[in-house]
Homo-oligomer: A and B are copies of this chain.
């Protein structure tokens, strides 16, 4: 059996992944403790090393897992025929939030990877596991003629993306602190911001 993880009960698997992501997102690789990972995951030391063989392989697994997890969900769930960038961005924001709710330390873990790898290394990894992601996400089939005539598209695109990213980060913080966040409430707020941005930058 190659992948000993896939045999596992999914609840248990998620618990291990979350515990490991938490530890690696809070401490540098060297200082991250496998003892604490197994403790918080509720499994024994032996099991962890049975599943992953070594700390390094566990880390590598998480790296690829986190990239795939997010990209696959986006790839599957987004309506790629939608030409309205704001609707596209809202869709992605909600998908991200869903994934981050399931794996609360994924974003923090991502930021670690980001901080430790050069831009080229990162792009190479993305290309390997989710080809063409960069050209696709915010561009595929988007109708750029919907922007106001005299507007600087590149800057507006960033403003849109950043706004929804910041909203997502804020929700994530609330979720992590234990608050029960209502999905409808979120969708409503996203819509409110969408409306404001539409009024400002679109025909």
Identify the A interface with B (CB < 8 A). 26-28, 31, 33, 118, 150-152, 155-156, 158-159, 162-163, 165-166, 177, 192-193, 195-197, 199-201
Are A155 and B196 touching (Cβ within 8 A)?
yes
Contacts of A199 in B (CB 8 A): 150-151
Are A159 and B152 touching (Cβ within 8 A)?
no
Are B27 and A193 touching (Cβ within 8 A)?
no
22 contacts between A and B (CB under 8 A): A27-B28, A27-B31, A28-B31, A31-B31, A150-B199, A151-B199, A151-B200, A152-B192, A152-B195, A155-B192, A155-B196, A156-B196, A156-B200, A158-B193, A159-B196, A162-B162, A163-B163, A165-B166, A166-B166, A196-B201, A197-B200, A200-B200
With a 10 A CB-CB cut-off, give which of A27, A152, A196, A197 has the most chain B CB atoms. A196
Contacts of A177 in B (CB 8 A): 118
**A118-B177, A159-B163 known, 13 other contacts, Cβ within 8 Å:** A26-B27, A27-B28, A27-B31, A28-B31, A151-B200, A152-B192, A155-B196, A156-B196, A158-B193, A159-B193, A159-B197, A200-B200, A200-B201
In the assembled complex, the Cα of A33 lies from the Cα of B11 at a distance in Å of 35
Are B196 and A151 touching (Cβ within 8 A)?
yes
Contacts of A28 in B (CB 8 A): 26-27, 31
Contacts of A163 in B (CB 8 A): 158-159, 162-163
Q: A31: shortest Cβ distance to chain B, in Å? A: 4
